[in-house]
Structure 1
């Protein structure tokens, strides 16, 4: 019996040794695979950068130096897949100008440099938060995707937006007692995203244990589709339901998405029934937003509805001074007023236009006066 046990123990030792060798080899193979993938990615990135450098030289010959420095030099390649190249602009405003005026130039130059036909997509680096998207204050929670710069303190108050601002502040300060759903609407670029982020930031700063998520309806739609495809719809619902406050942007994009509308209605209804809070921003009024063939205002009890209007001239001037020219004492009031007069209805475009004037003057080495400002804005006007 002892001899049999000794033989079994000896065989087990041999088996353990063999398993150790196998695990070591598998680890080596995995490391080699990872290195191979990283090397491949590095190679693709290096090749993309090389092609882009050639394309820029081609474009530089075809347009003026000022146009090149202003609109092309700041672009950078982001990714390449299946003959589709994504080029990043710094802001949504730059993206719009580049697409409108320089898309064909970029496509032609890139394909010439690459030696083959590619489709070109122009995208913006950070369309919502110009500097950073941050993780949660309390790292035990998931990412909140709130922009920490968009606060009530950085808001420029004017008569055109005072009611919406007061409503947002009141909701944030008394969110526990507040009724359940706040709805902000207005045209593009008027500050809806700023206010709904400010609500989230205010609540988190005063109560860091709260679970708050900012999500675009696009992200909601894509998340739902992917969860259905991967048979993980229950997990998707749990992630949404786990929030104390859910902030939803661009609700208008849910139009004609019938399956998404049904899931959206069920989740929001469950959250409201559990006493959780919902903040919504849209370009459409609640009575114009149709969910499951019903008006939004008929489906949900809304505690507050506020419309953001276009800013008047004096407010636009104050926005430029606070957001763009706060550190530029050399900018005359006359120039600031000129810029404000030429961007009458969109705050986001107004801020981007001010930045464009500053960059134009810096790149050309000139002081900012009315003539320089007009040259910087000529592609927009």
Structure 2
């Protein structure tokens, strides 16, 4: 029976599959296609130059053994690099690269032609995997360590950030996970680390990206059938900064791809920096294997700044903006706005704006009016945990009872109300809400919301429950 390219490659794959990890096989061998068999040379198609280099660097021995078994000592392997076309031309380009004779098994440098060098090459996500494309860091130079003031609330996180910036990938803080509530400076600190690294190590590739944008890119790569190029692009980053990593909650495909990118970067001494609104132990709908990796390095919390730190932040902000303000007014604002840095700076900007527009002097009375309005208009973030607490307190039961499996009518209704308000007051997905309220699925949450809507219109007592709890959550 005559051998075909496919039959030879299938036999090689059987051997390879038995000798490497399943994930490595799926990532590096499943995407390969057998193209042709000429004499004793097997041609295989790979999706990028990076892919070729990785195979030559990590799997050259197993390729040699498997191919020699099939075609003998004179076997040769020819790579065909066929890349995803991103320029709008309909014809993809290919380049045949004959590998060295597998008896010698020497790697050969590959020059992939880039004939159409369009301006789009500046975009780091146009052709993932090509190393000579300039990757813009997406960092904001205004977010520096210089204007990230140190206090008891952020000392650990700031110190760890400075250590990472001095020796990226070379400290035990890898990954560095910065977590804390809204407006406490997570994004600022993450940018500051990146900016400092770029300053100290200009040759390093640093990339800042939000988890939301990362997810969207992954979805696009699946649609365009270039998932591997997406992975390869992220694997060449030296310092990867992902903001709001909790956004990956419930997105199993994105979590899976990030898991493999993370492993590659970590194993190769690259630095990973993450921010989140909660500690790993409190993250919902994130795979356990990913959470365990988040805990490998350091999780540093940013807490609400104390009074002295709030005063320092305001003084620094005013100094940078070239504005003079009496000490008693600065202290008044710092005493009355305690929640986070963003609101603190927002209040001082409003105060300056009011003074400027109305040509009024900045006085303590004006500060009182502005702060009162600001506090009243600033909505407190309502979390699913807080909603469960309010509902449990209202019905005089503990949260464990609310989340339990019991089918007692009053407990079921309390649980349904918690789900209803979680959908109304948060941006969490149905799956995430269900997971946090007694490990239910999204269908249960959907049913709960419909039940609450129906009972609100037919049952006066139930309507009162809804109104009362709504008032408590809206305070």
User: Could you state the TM-score of these two structures normalised by the residue count of structure 1?
Assistant: 0.60
Distance 1:350 1:301, change over 3 A: closer
2:235 maps to which of 234, 241, 248: 241
| Larger Rg over CA atoms | 2
Cα deviation, residue 325, structure 1: 4.7
Matched residue, 2:302: 308
Shift of 1:288: 2.2
Work out whether 1:167 is the aligned partner of 2:160.
Answer: yes
Q: 2:199 matched to which residue of 1?
A: 205
- Residue 355 to residue 325, structure 1, CA distance change in 2 (3 Å): farther
Contact kept, 8 Å, 1:289 with 1:296, in 2: the verdict is no
Aligned residue for 1:147?
A: 140
Deviation at 1:140, TM superposition (A): 5.7
How far off is 1:328 after superposition?
Answer: 4.8
In 1, the alpha carbon distance for the partners of 2:285 and 2:264 equals 16
Secondary structure of 2:208's counterpart equals strand
Partners of 1:315 and 1:281 in 2: how far apart?
22
In the alignment, what sits opposite 2:334? 340
1:273-292 alignment runs, 5 A limit = 273-290=267-284
Q: Does the aligned pair in 2 maintain the 1:286–1:296 contact within 8 Å?
A: no
Alpha carbons 2:318, 2:324 under 8 Å: kept: no
Distance 1:362 1:159, change over 3 A: same
Which string of whole-angstrom CA distances, capped at 9 and with x for unpartnered residues, describes residues 79-125 of structure 1?
xxxxxxxxxxxxxxxxxxxxxxxxxxxxxxxxxxxxxxxxxxxxxxx
Q: Is the 8 A contact 1:288 1:296 kept in 2?
A: no
Q: Deviations over 1:298-335 (max 9, x none)?
A: 24552222111110011101101102354555411111
Change (3 A) 1:329 1:225: closer
Q: Distance in 1 between matches of 2:342 and 2:350?
A: 12
Moved more, 289-298 or 176-185: 289-298
SS in 2 for 1:281: strand
Q: Which ranges in structure 2 are unaligned for 5 or more consecutive residues?
A: 1-122, 125-131, 376-475
Aligned to 2:94: none
Q: Deviations over 1:235-293 (max 9, x none)?
A: 22222112101001101111111221111112111221222110111111122235653
Larger relative contact order (C-alpha < 8 A, sep ≥ 6)?
1
The equivalent residue for 1:298 is: 292
Whole-angstrom distance in 2 between the partners of 1:288 and 1:268: 20
Tell me the equivalent position of 1:230: 224
Pair 1:351 & 2:337 matched: no
Deviation of 1:371 after TM superposition, in Å, equals 1.6
Runs of 4+ in 1 over 4 A off after TM superposition: 325-329
Q: CA deviation at 1:224?
A: 0.7
Deviation at 1:145, TM superposition (A): 0.9
CA distance in 2, matches of 1:352, 1:276: 37
Shift of 1:216: 0.6
- Number of equivalences: 245
Q: Secondary structure at the match of 1:142?
A: coil
Instruction: Give the secondary-structure state (helix, strand or coil) at the position aligned to 1:236.
Output: helix
Aligned counterparts of 1:327 and 1:307: Cα–Cα separation in 2: 29
Which residues in structure 2 correspond to 1:1-381 (within 5 Å)? 141-179=134-172, 180-290=174-284, 293-294=287-288, 296-300=290-294, 302-328=296-322, 330-381=324-375
- Give 3-state SS (helix, strand or coil) of 1:336's partner: helix
Q: In the aligned structure 1, how far is the partner of 2:310 from the partner of 2:163?
A: 25
1:209 & 1:299 partners in 2: Cα distance?
27
Inter-partner Cα distance in structure 2 for 1:205 and 1:154: 16
SS at match of 1:379: helix
Residues 203, 216 of structure 1: alpha-carbon distance in 2 compared, 3 angstrom cutoff: same
In angstroms, what is the RMSD of aligned CA positions? 2.2
- How has the CA–CA distance of structure 1 residues 376 and 237 changed in structure 2, closer, same or farther, with 3 Å as cutoff? same
Matched with 2:89 is: none
